[in-house]
Homo-oligomer: A and B are copies of this chain.
Amino acid sequence: MFDHPSHVGKSGAVRSLNLTPTSYLVLGLLGAMGPSTSYDLKRAVSRSIGEFWSFPHSQLYAEPARLAAAGLLEERREERGRRRRLWSVTDAGREALESWLAEPSAAVTEIRDLGLLKLFFGGQTTPDRVTTLAEVNAEFHRRRTADYEALHAHLAARGIDPYERATLELGLRYERTAVAFWEEMAAWGPEGQG
């Protein structure tokens, strides 16, 4: 690609980039899991935070390269077989992660829900369509709630990291909130919403 120093070393060839959520995800996962491939990252994401914050696998392949260019990760290739790329956190990377974790900045939660956007424009369609929307969404979130609970139980069996469990817990609680909300919406429609 471009000729970087053999091992990020003395040249300070560390291009400073601004770290995105994806960056911290990768840093944190590698910090917790040790040297891993992008596919390992993908799997780790899938049944945890990825439940409600999607990180496409293509990014989990692309982001490590960026972080490595910045000196926060190191790459090692398998000698034989597939010669897969294994990523691990450097001291600089660990430092970046720790300082990020240390500042407890609270930021606005983004909730992006297409169904909710449709509801927002409910006045521009017929009430029965809104009711259908509400019913479909209620069912959808009920199903998701059930999935979460199964997942939760499954993970509880194998002693999962408590922080990871807590994270899923909020996801679950959100789903329950959504179920209640959409069910009310569905009931609200038919009887004339004054």
The residues of A with any CB-CB pair to B shorter than 8 Å are 21, 24-25, 28, 31-32, 48-49, 52-54, 97-98, 100-102, 104-125, 129-130, 132-133, 135-137, 139-141, 144, 161-164, 166-167, 169-171, 173-174, 177-178, 180-181, 185, 188, 193
Contacts and interface: CB of A to CB of B under 8 A. Distances in A.
A163 B122 contact: yes
Contact of A163 (B53, B101, B102, B123): B123
A111 B110 contact: yes
A181 B173 contact: yes
Given A105-B114, A111-B109, A140-B106, A119 B178 contact: no
Contact of A137 (B52, B106, B164): B106
A163 B124 CA distance: 10
A150 B114 CA distance: 25
Nearest to A139: B106
A32 B123 contact: yes
B193 A111 contact: no
Contact of A170 (B52, B101, B116): B116
Given A32-B124, A97-B124, A163-B123, A106 B136 contact: yes
A25 B117 contact: yes
Contact of A104 (B133, B162, B177, B180): B133
A163 B120 contact: yes
B32 A193 contact: no
A107 B111 contact: no
A120 B52 contact: no
Given A121-B28, A164-B120, A171 B111 contact: yes
